[in-house]
Structure 1
Amino acid sequence: MKASERKSLFDRNWYFYRGDVRNAESPVYNDSAWRKVDLPHDWSIEPLENQEPDKVVGPFSRESVGGFATGQTVGGKGWYRKTFIISPEDAGKRHELYFEGIYNQSEIWINGQKAYYNVYGYTSFRVDITPYCKPAGEKNIIAVKVINEGKNSRWYTGSGIYRHVWMIRTSPSYIEDWGTFISTNSIDKEQAVVILNTTIVNGDTEEGEYTVNINLTSPRGKVVSTTNSTVKMTSGNKHEIPFTITVKKPRLWSTDTPELYIANISLWKNKEKKDELSIPFGIRTIHFSTGKGFELNGVPMKLKGGCVHHDNGLLGSAAFDRAEERKIQLLKQNGFNAVRTSHNPMSESFMSACDRLGMLVIDEAFDQWKIKKNPEDYHLYFNEWSARDIRSLVLRDRNHPSVIMWSIGNEIRERISDNGLKIAEDLKKEILKHDNTRPVTAGVNKYWDKDRKNMLSLEKAFRHLDVAGYNYMWRFYEEDHAKYPERIMYSSESVANEASQNWDKVEKLPYVIGDFIWTAIDYLGESGLGNSIEVDPEENVHQFMGWPWFNGWCGDIDLLGVKKLNPTIVIFYGTTER
């Protein structure tokens, strides 16, 4: 079975209903009156139906539960349905649905049977639907229920199946999709040592001997290394196979030369190919220290970073490939070399664009832990789901050379408590089970006493972080360095009117590795942020705005992709020009 036959886009010809209906999961439900849509799809950016005939309002509404936070948009409930037939040549194969993202809580039904439930709208997840499918030639019905209710976010989220869906078909014995991890052990001018671990599953009914073949293809399409390994496995067993591979005269991945190799992995049994998988990766090393800061391939580099939310402006949260790629192109064109995914996992299209175009990534998981920021946000599910959600993030993204840090949170409410200390430790341990090649970080802000008179110590918030993210705290770098000389720091968020002060510190202090502006690009939600109301000739007050404001206005680049310029002064990294 060729790799091109293994995974196919499953975006076309879904039927959609906005609202809740009874028995929509039933195979016999009549969906003929539903609207046909292609994915990615975000219903919160679409017009709202009005009770008055022939009138529509929206997508913005004064009735929005999220209000200014979510850009006056409306969530609710929705249903998607799709039919498919297993072809005779696919009879006996394993079938898996891969959802890159559904906002927010979702239920997956196959032929009237509930196959999966997911709660975090930014988590990519896989569902083995083989046990629920009918024999080849018969019609199968997929129904997906999506719930986006209550006040559950501080920014615009979108609603529905807003990222790609894929159908994956393999033999019963197969290569686990997120079971391969490729990392660079060492590099020099003559060669690189690459570590590749891949996981295979024996889904056959009997014991067998399996061979895994590996060949690496260079960025120019030339096979540069081949190797294999054979293992005997019992039925139903899973096995991880390690490889150490030498690549002569490697072409290194960097922000200036984002060279990508491809690992072609094939699984064989008795000279029959059972599965094949191709994974892009980059050969590169990263290192962090207080003396030299951040080094990419042994070369010190300052992070000229920007925070970005996941929406695509007028397209809502729908993760169209070109829109995701365009964001990275705009950032590169405007001098950025790094992004922080604020404050959640991004789409696969976004991550792949960072690899191809040469953009470093701080990959962030959560905006809250157990203590809420909104009544219906992720804190309701954190205890049960956080370990599996951060595991999904790391397994999905660990082969991206663009990813340089894992972020476990942003401005977490319990960050200085003993409970928060334990959560940070647990999240870090979960990451290290699956990747020990990248540091763990978080965006940390000030913590005041109950009277807001005294700033309390953040030592517990930073204790389990390998690299400390400072939100709006550039003034404390030198003071904290004197107390904690081994702490590596960076500005995980900064405001535009302090860009010069932030960058002066980055250039001056080797243990401060970069600055991430809030934000690099405008976004929907947090409406009015970045606008000012003049209350005194000497002072501007920045605040959120109510109706009819829909978007934040704090980005270096606006929703149309236009760089904002102050007519009097333009601040670049490290310089000020009039």
Structure 2
Amino acid sequence: MLRKEMLLLLTGLTLAISTTAQRIHTKFDADWKFKQGHAADPSRDFNYGIRNIFSKSGDASGTCIMPDYDDSNWETVQLPHDWAVGLPFQYIKDNDLDGHGYKAIGGLFPENSIGWYRKTFDVNKADSGHRYVVRLDGVYRDSKVWINGYYLGGNFSGYTSTSYDITDFIRFNKKNVLTVRADATQNEGWFYEGAGIYRHVWLDILNNVHIANEGGVFVRTAVKGNTAIVNVATAVVNKHIHTANATVYTVITDRSGQILAQSKEQPLSMAVNEEKTVTQELKISKPELWSPESPYLYRAIAIIKADGQIIDSEKVRFGVRTITIDKNKGLFVNGIPVKVKGVCCHQDHAGMGCALPNHLQYYRISLLKEMGANAYRTSHNPPTPELLDACDSLGMLVMDEPRLLNSGTEYENQFRQLILRDRNHPSIFIWSIGNEEFATQYTNIGTRIAQRQVLLQQQLDPDRTSTYAANQGNHFTGVNEVIPVRGFNYNLHGIDGYHRDHPSQPVIGTEVASTVTTRSIYIKDTVKGYVPDYDSTYPSWASTAEQWWKLASDREWFMGGFAWTGFDYRGEPTPYSWPNINSHFGIMDMCGFPKNVYYYYQSWWSGKDVLHIAPHWNWQGKDGQPVLVWVNTNADNVELFLNGKSLGKKDMPRNGHLRWTVNYAPGMLEAVAYKGSKKITAQVSTTGNASRIILTPSKTTLLHDGDDAVVVNVSVADEQGREVPDAGNNIRFVLDGDASIIGVGNGDPSSHEPDKCAPGAWQRNLFGGKAQVIIRAGRGQGKVSLKASGEGLQAAVLSL
């Protein structure tokens, strides 16, 4: 290969379009037009349902599907976009509405449950002769897609990616319009799911001979001594109208782009519409192994040439690592035992709903890593690809999971697409085939479905295994008879008996704990729907963090597990319903602000020196009254002092916590701990009133790409600079520069404040002294300035 060609390939530069051009992979997120339809009134749904739009190809006259429809009065939006998060909260006694967080969407609200999107773009006539493929990474839900009035197809799932070849319908030197109808009337889950095109859309321009769109490059690795064996299978398809000849080869580089290995060019000849797979073996000497502690990523570049020129290529990031699951000793990564310190998570975030900018994926995984978590379960649906990219890059093991357990054509294809899309990610160490299928998991039907899905997984990804999240106690019937790794959802009291009776089946906690807590609240409040921020309250079927982790830590054969959940999420409020609109299960709240239980996990998972006191020490009017004090630490012992007077010294039990009952007096509560000879201290103090605002960004530089984002956390301090932990001030935000505020939140599970505000009216009340604002970059260069102000407070200005 010519060095010039390789440099172009490695630096991501795009060759000029020609008959031998490489693919152009373009994010198709900007400048969509959006309008609500109506699920029950066709006249308010652009005549969908009363116009016979499927009788003649390309004839959808009288609807917004046609390219000449005037959409100038539609809202301009940028993807990802979730229209449900901007809807009002509405209380109706309905289990589905409760589970989805009381957003006014679904079958009860037909006026809010349909969304139409239109994207206009141009294609030069000089670029004819290529293939044009649109990929939608996620549309919630039941999407239908047209191009220039021609129906392309639909996707029943709200979570799986789907691609459409639009080549035959392109209009050259004339506007093209891609139209998407999303119908969120019918729910898939029992949690907040959003609505709309809430993940990225891509346009690929390809040669007629190209790498297959779905799972076209599959990288497998094995380690033998000081050498990594890398097998790269490249599926090539011929969409020419004649037989095509080409060669295929693979290049391996390190993360800096240095070439480490290159295969020979392998010739192949393909008939019209034929697909062939070429498998090539390469070697890396002394490889850097991927692990949660050292997530090193290589690049495999599959390349197709014809007539001596590159006509297509695809670059895949991969890691070299070995995963072993032993029935007696648990999980091993690269031969080293690893206890799974995991969390289950849904995909929404405060202010964003489900439409998260890429930076939010990295931000959330970073918060979990800081806590000490090493594993993430994508409960209970296929994740966005960028979440897996973040886990690859930051070092987070992943249990990847489809929406539900079903081997019918629709759902089996969803599972197939999930594996083909995600199997190159080194972070994935195991697949889950489903979760808590009450009607099926005990039955013979469940056995047969599970067997088929396990065999499909092993066929498509033979280097990994699978589990199933079963809330069946120690039952061995149904799905559990055939699943390779037994997954326990709660019911851990029976785990020893199950392991004794079924010693050949490895065991993992697929869903554990489920403590319910409200950040910064330390008394039960049934009116507001708050529960104390201690690791003490949990549903009857669950346990505390401490209970499950002690059990997992003490059993070598128990692989560890996934706590429910890493973050609070919209919907499924527990133990209360309205006015609650989100769960209390999170180790962090919906903004990612830590609760008290966060420091329990950090003490025993992270290896950091941890010493944390709860609660805060602002208890005006409670002088002399008892306050329950918890201390989380991994130190050997702790002595607690109130205003310099010792309240006693206690030894810290392994995987436990300490507590004191302290009669309240204003001042300072201090903990002094020793870890060996190392002294560690922590304090909480009675503060004055809030006097100034503090803005803390997740980063200080934004890429001017129209997609990058920054999370800005908001707090207030008193005149001595101490953060005020119980402040509830209203904070207003004004942004200058080429960027936009796209969401606000505060972690309050009973807040009915809007996540989206009108232009110029962005605001949020602090909850427990905190709030959050999320900013998305524009495309212009220069400074972006965020000003936060509040009555009686010194304003803060943040420059990005």
TM, length-normalised to structure 2: 0.64
**Does the CA contact (< 8 Å) of 1:254 and 1:358 recur in 2?**
yes
Cα displacement string for residues 492-548 of structure 1 (whole angstroms, at most 9, x for unaligned residues): 111244322322332222221012111111111102x2xxxxxxxxxxxxx2x3322
The answer for the alignment partner of 1:553 in structure 2 is: 584
Q: Report the Cα distance in structure 1 between the residues aligned to 2:582 and 2:501, rounded to whole angstroms.
A: 40
The answer for the alignment partner of 2:79 in structure 1 is: 39
Cα distance, 1:388–1:17 mapped onto 2, change above 3 Å: same
The answer for the alignment partner of 1:61 in structure 2 is: 90
Cα displacement string for residues 70-110 of structure 1 (whole angstroms, at most 9, x for unaligned residues): 00013300100011111244221101111110001000011
Instruction: Give the one of 387, 395, 414 matched to 2:412.
Output: 387
Cα distance, 1:491–1:392 mapped onto 2, change above 3 Å: same
Amino acid at match of 1:220: S
Cα distance, 1:548–1:278 mapped onto 2, change above 3 Å: same
Structure of higher RCO (CA pairs closer than 8 Å, 6+ residues apart): 1
Cα displacement string for residues 444-500 of structure 1 (whole angstroms, at most 9, x for unaligned residues): 0027xxxxxxxx833322122111110002112210111111111111111244322
**Does the CA contact (< 8 Å) of 2:249 and 2:280 recur in 1?**
no
Q: Report the Cα distance in structure 1 between the residues aligned to 2:137 and 2:207, rounded to whole angstroms.
A: 22
Amino acid at match of 1:283: V
The answer for the alignment partner of 2:774 in structure 1 is: none
The answer for the alignment partner of 1:501 in structure 2 is: 547
Cα distance, 1:345–1:149 mapped onto 2, change above 3 Å: same
Instruction: Give the one of 187, 203, 211 matched to 2:239.
Output: 203
Larger Cα-atom Rg:
2
The answer for the alignment partner of 1:569 in structure 2 is: 630
The answer for the alignment partner of 2:561 in structure 1 is: 515
Cα displacement string for residues 420-447 of structure 1 (whole angstroms, at most 9, x for unaligned residues): 1111112122222311111111100027
The answer for the alignment partner of 1:464 in structure 2 is: 482
Q: Report the Cα distance in structure 2 between the residues aligned to 1:258 and 1:64, rounded to whole angstroms.
A: 47
Amino acid at match of 2:182: V
The answer for the alignment partner of 2:328 in structure 1 is: 291
Cα displacement string for residues 117-171 of structure 1 (whole angstroms, at most 9, x for unaligned residues): 101101111111112222x212111110000014542100000000000101101
Cα distance, 1:400–1:151 mapped onto 2, change above 3 Å: closer
**Does the CA contact (< 8 Å) of 1:83 and 1:139 recur in 2?**
yes
Q: Report the Cα distance in structure 2 between the residues aligned to 1:61 and 1:69, rounded to whole angstroms.
A: 13
TM, length-normalised to structure 1: 0.88
Q: What are the equivalent positions in structure 2 for 1:435-474 lying under 5 Å apart?
A: 435-446=461-472, 457-474=475-492
Instruction: Give the one of 65, 87, 102 matched to 1:72.
Output: 102
Instruction: Give the one of 424, 427, 435 matched to 1:399.
Output: 424
**Does the CA contact (< 8 Å) of 1:64 and 1:73 recur in 2?**
no
Tell whether 2:561 aligns with 1:524: no
Tell whether 2:450 aligns with 1:432: no
**Does the CA contact (< 8 Å) of 2:345 and 2:378 recur in 1?**
yes
SS at match of 1:551: coil
Cα displacement string for residues 27-66 of structure 1 (whole angstroms, at most 9, x for unaligned residues): 232211111100000000114xxxxxxxxxx1x1225963
Q: Report the Cα distance in structure 2 between the residues aligned to 1:88 and 1:264, rounded to whole angstroms.
A: 30
Tell whether 2:283 aligns with 1:246: yes
Amino acid at match of 1:154: W
State the 1:416 CA deviation.
1.0
**Does the CA contact (< 8 Å) of 1:101 and 1:347 recur in 2?**
yes
Q: Report the Cα distance in structure 2 between the residues aligned to 1:347 and 1:99, rounded to whole angstroms.
A: 11
Cα distance, 1:203–1:506 mapped onto 2, change above 3 Å: same
Tell whether 2:366 aligns with 1:320: no
Cα distance, 1:61–1:468 mapped onto 2, change above 3 Å: same
Cα displacement string for residues 221-254 of structure 1 (whole angstroms, at most 9, x for unaligned residues): 3110001322222222100111111111101111
SS at match of 1:181: strand
Percent identity reads: 32
Q: Report the Cα distance in structure 2 between the residues aligned to 1:74 and 1:186, rounded to whole angstroms.
A: 53
Instruction: Give the one of 294, 298, 301 matched to 2:338.
Output: 301
SS at match of 2:359: helix
The answer for the alignment partner of 1:278 in structure 2 is: 315
Q: Report the Cα distance in structure 1 between the residues aligned to 2:104 and 2:13, rounded to whole angstroms.
A: 39
Cα distance, 1:230–1:561 mapped onto 2, change above 3 Å: same
**Does the CA contact (< 8 Å) of 1:199 and 1:238 recur in 2?**
yes
Q: Mean alpha-carbon deviation: is it higher for 470-479 or for 81-90?
A: 81-90
> What 5-or-longer segments of structure 1 have no aligned partner?
48-57, 370-381, 448-455, 530-542
Number of positions where the alignment pairs a residue of Structure 1 with one of Structure 2: 530
The answer for the alignment partner of 2:506 in structure 1 is: 488
Instruction: Give the one of 148, 159, 162 matched to 2:195.
Output: 159
Cα distance, 1:150–1:226 mapped onto 2, change above 3 Å: closer
SS at match of 1:355: helix
SS at match of 1:476: helix
Amino acid at match of 1:103: Y
Q: Report the Cα distance in structure 2 between the residues aligned to 1:315 and 1:132, rounded to whole angstroms.
A: 34
SS at match of 1:475: helix
**Does the CA contact (< 8 Å) of 1:64 and 1:72 recur in 2?**
no
Instruction: Give the one of 36, 39, 46 matched to 1:18.
Output: 36
**Does the CA contact (< 8 Å) of 2:263 and 2:281 recur in 1?**
no
Amino acid at match of 1:85: D
SS at match of 1:501: helix
Q: Report the Cα distance in structure 2 between the residues aligned to 1:499 and 1:322, rounded to whole angstroms.
A: 29
SS at match of 2:559: strand
SS at match of 1:428: helix
State the superposition RMSD in angstroms. 1.9
Q: Report the Cα distance in structure 2 between the residues aligned to 1:281 and 1:339, rounded to whole angstroms.
A: 18
Amino acid at match of 2:384: S
SS at match of 1:331: helix
Cα distance, 1:248–1:116 mapped onto 2, change above 3 Å: same
